[in-house]
């Protein structure tokens, strides 16, 4: 299917609004399928880094030095 001008290609003989709407919705969905898992993975990795900090494993209100002194270290 060939068009004489860009305007004719965008209009697609009256069907352009439907075609370009589907193209736009599909593009948004594809971008979402790429971006959302990447953001989720980044957030999960950040949570893992916080969990690796020894202070995060100590009981609330207890400093890590107190835990080390109590265990004889």
Q: How many domains does the chain have?
A: 1
Residue burial 35-52, b: 16+ Cβ < 10 Å; e: rest: eeeeeeeeeeeeeeeeee
Query: How far is it, in rounded angstroms, from Cα 4 to Cα 10?
Result: 11
Structural domain contains residue 40: yes
Give kind and range of the element (H or E) at residue 52: none
- Kindly give the confidence (pLDDT) of every residue in the chain, 73 residues in length, as a single tens digit, with 9 standing for 90 and above: 688 888 888 888 889 999 999 999 999 999 999 999 999 999 988 888 876 655 555 556 556 565 556 655 5
Q: Does the residue 49 lie in any domain? A: yes
- Does residue 64 lie in a domain region? yes
Domain range for 55 is 6-70
**Is 25 part of a structural domain of the chain?**
yes
pLDDT at 19: 93
Cα–Cα distances in Å, from 54 out to 30, 50, 63? 40, 9, 10
The whole-model pTM stands at 0.54
Residue 55 lies in a domain: yes
- Flag whether 1 is in a domain: no
């Amino acid at each position: 299917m060939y068009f004489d001008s860009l305007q004719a290609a965008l209009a697609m003989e009256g069907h352009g609004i439907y075609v370009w709407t589907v193209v736009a919705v599909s593009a948004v969905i594809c971008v979402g399928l790429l971006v959302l898992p990447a953001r989720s993975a980044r957030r999960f990795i950040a949570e893992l880094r916080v969990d690796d900090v020894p202070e995060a494993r100590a009981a609330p209100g207890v400093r890590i030095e107190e835990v080390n002194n109590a265990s004889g270290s």
